Amino acid sequence: MTSTMPSEATAMQTIAHSADAYFHVRVLIGLVTGLGLARLLTGLARFVQHPSRAQIYPPHLVWVIFMLIYIIHFWWFEFGLSIINVWEFENYSFVMLYAALLFFITTLLFPDQMGDYSGFAEYFMSRKHWFYSLLAVVFIIDILDTLMKGQQYFFALGAWYPIKQIGFGLLCGAVMLTNNARMHTGFGLIAIFAELWWIASKFRFLDVS
């Protein structure tokens, strides 16, 4: 009985330190994520506040909605990082890069100024290469983020997961080459429905087991 007490105490201490490290990382992730959500919500408010000046452009709007859903989901699924026992600075930097990339995409959707453009239609098409390139990186970098949580976590998502991520990454590369608004809107709607389905099927509950 007495011989197991130190090991049990050490195990509990390790778990406590792991939880503290995860909380420390999660706070900064939440800060960057919150900035992205605020950017999107403030931008959406423009359509209500100034409907004549900020006219809705369907391709732009559907991708704004997608990013809103994705960032909310990002904060949710990054709870899986809690299973990491020992944090390295490289892992921390990688996760922060992921969060910062999402924030940067929100600044592309809603820039600080629109004076050089007639509206979101002209602006979105002028930045489509940047937007879809960074979005493709997000789809691929998410695979690395998932692998960081362990092989068991990765394989639990099923074979559809890497296919979905790589497929959407390739579609980003294809759609950025066209100015067809219907294709941009259609791709955005597919991405929204796929993300909602993914959340409902795999991430409905906050659980890493």
Report CA Rg, the chain. 20
Region of residue 158 (phi > 0: left; psi between -120 and 50: alpha; otherwise: beta):
left
**pLDDT band at residue 12, thresholds of 50, 70 and 90?**
very low
Q: Which tens digit of pLDDT belongs to each residue from 74-84?
A: 998 888 888 88
Q: Which tens digit of pLDDT belongs to each residue from 132-151?
A: 999 999 999 999 999 998 89
Please state, in angstroms and rounded to a whole number, the distance separating the CA atoms of residues 192 and 188. Answer: 6
pLDDT value at residue 209 = 54
Distances 154 to 125, 160, 195, 203 between C-alpha atoms, Å:
35, 11, 17, 13
Statement: the pTM of the whole predicted model exceeds 0.75: yes
pLDDT value at residue 1 = 45
With vertex at residue 57, the alpha carbon angle to CA 52 and CA 60, rounded to the nearest 5 degrees, is 130
The separation between CA 52 and the C-alpha centre of its own chain, rounded to angstroms, equals 31
